[in-house]
C-alpha cells in the first residue's frame, strides 16, 4: 500500500511571509501525530517556494511541489518556470493538467503530454490531474473524458515508470472550489476507473497513487480517504489555514 499523500494546493494565494507562517504552523501542528503511512505535500505559489522550503528542512514526510512548469530547460518563455528552477527551489513534485490550467489557461492534452514526460525526465514526481466538467457528467461522458485525458496526457510516459514518479489526481471540475464534494460512490467509481486505466498503461499502474480533489474538508476527509483506490487528497481552499489543513492531514 502506498503512503497516503495529503497535498495542499495554495494556488495564487499567500505572500512569502504568509506562506512561511502557514507552513511553520502546519509542521508544528502535525509532525508529532503524523501516522507513518502519511506524507504531506505543499504546493505554494512560486514566490514562496524557497521560503516554504526552509520551513521543511529535515522534516521527514513533508515535500514541496510546484503548481506548474514549462517544458523547456531555459529560454525566452516570459512568465514561465522550468523543472530545473523548481528543483533548485527545493521541489520534488509538480502538478500537471490542473483543471484551472486546462480551463482558464487553455492547456490542451497534447501540450500536457509533453509537459508530463519532460518533467519526469528532469526528475520531478508528477501528479497528473484529470476530471470532467458538470456538462460532461450530465451527458454521461465521465469515462470517455477520463480515458481521453489519461491516454492522451500520459501518451509519452514510459510503460515502466516507477510508482513513485507518477500519480494521478481525480478532481471533478464541478467540485473544485464549489463546496460541492463528489459523493463517495461517484469518487469510488471514478477512482476504480482511473486505476484500471493506469494498470493497463503502466507496469506499476496498480501501485501509483490516485488522489481525490474537490471541496475536501476536515469533515469529509475520513470517508473519502477510506475508499479503495484513494491514496490521498489534493486540497485547495481548506489547505490555506494551517489548523484546518492539519485536521485533514490527521483525519
Using the rule CB under 6 A, is 172 a contact of ligand 13P?
no
Please identify which residue in 120, 176, 182, 187 interacts with ligand 13P, judged by CB under 6 A.
176
98 is annotated as an active-site residue: yes
Cβ count within 10 A of residue 50:
16
Using the rule CB under 6 A, is 173 a contact of ligand 13P?
no
Using the rule CB under 6 A, is 66 a contact of ligand 13P?
no
Q: Tell me the DSSP string of the chain.
A: -PPEEEEEE-TT---HHHHHHHHHHHHHHHTTT--TTEEEEEE--GGGHHHHHHHTTT-TTEEEEES---SSSSSS-TT---HHHHHHTT--EEEES-HHHHHTS---HHHHHHHHHHHHHTTPEEEEEE---HHHHHTT-HHHHHHHHHHHHTTTS-TT--TTTEEEEE--GGGTTSS-PPPHHHHHHHHHHHHHHHHHH-TTTTTS-EEEESS--TTTHHHHHTSTT--EEEESGGGSSHHHHHHHHT-
Q: Taking the complex as a whole, how short is the minimal distance between the CB of residue 73 and ligand 13P, in angstroms?
A: 26
| Interface segment toward ligand 13P; rule CB under 6 A; list 137-145, 187-195, 197-205, 209-217 | 209-217
| Interface segment toward ligand 13P; rule CB under 6 A; list 34-42, 143-151, 208-216, 218-226 | 208-216
| Interface segment toward ligand 13P; rule CB under 6 A; list 31-39, 101-109, 171-179, 184-192 | 171-179
One character per residue 69-98, x = contact with ligand 13P (rule: CB under 6 A): -----------------------------x
Beta-carbon contacts of residue 103 (< 8 Å; ≥ 6 apart): 133, 173
Please identify which residue in 2, 90, 177, 218 interacts with ligand 13P, judged by CB under 6 A.
177
Please identify which residue in 237, 242, 246, 248 interacts with ligand 13P, judged by CB under 6 A.
237
One character per residue 118-157, x = contact with ligand 13P (rule: CB under 6 A): ----------------------------------------
Catalytic residues: 98, 171
**Positions that interact with ligand 13P (CB under 6 A):** 9, 98, 171, 176-177, 213-216, 234-238
Amino acid at each position: 500500500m502506498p503512503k497516503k499523500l495529503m497535498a495542499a494546493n495554495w494556488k495564487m494565494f499567500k505572500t512569502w511571509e504568509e506562506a512561511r507562517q502557514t507552513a511553520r504552523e502546519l509542521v508544528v501542528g502535525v509532525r508529532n501525530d503524523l501516522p507513518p503511512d502519511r506524507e504531506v505535500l505543499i504546493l505554494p505559489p512560486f514566490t514562496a517556494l524557497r521560503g516554504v522550503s526552509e520551513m521543511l528542512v529535515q522534516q521527514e514526510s513533508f515535500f514541496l511541489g510546484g503548481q506548474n512548469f514549462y517544458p523547456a530547460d531555459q529560454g525566452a518563455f516570459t512568465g514561465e518556470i522550468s523543472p530545473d528552477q523548481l528543483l533548485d527551489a527545493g521541489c520534488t513534485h509538480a502538478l500537471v493538467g490542473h483543471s484551472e490550467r486546462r480551463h482558464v489557461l487553455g492547456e490542451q492534452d497534447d501540450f500536457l503530454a509533453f509537459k508530463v514526460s519532460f518533467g519526469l525526465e528532469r526528475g520531478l514526481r508528477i501528479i497528473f490531474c484529470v476530471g470532467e466538467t458538470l456538462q460532461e457528467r450530465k451527458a454521461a461522458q465521465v469515462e470517455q473524458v477520463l480515458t481521453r485525458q489519461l491516454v492522451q496526457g500520459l501518451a509519452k510516459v514510459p510503460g515502466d515508470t516507477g510508482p513513485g514518479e507518477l500519480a494521478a489526481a481525480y478532481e471533478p471540475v464541478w467540485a473544485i472550489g464549489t463546496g460541492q464534494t463528489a459523493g463517495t460512490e461517484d469518487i469510488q467509481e471514478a477512482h476504480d476507473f482511473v486505476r484500471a486505466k493506469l494498470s493497463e498503461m503502466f507496469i506499476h499502474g496498480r501501485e501509483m497513487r490516485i488522489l481525490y480533489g474537490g471541496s475536501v474538508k476536515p469533515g469529509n476527509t475520513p470517508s473519502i480517504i477510506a475508499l479503495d483506490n484513494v491514496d490521498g487528497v489534493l486540497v485547495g481552499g481548506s489547505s490555506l489555514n494551517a489548523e484546518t489543513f492539519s485536521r485533514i492531514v490527521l483525519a
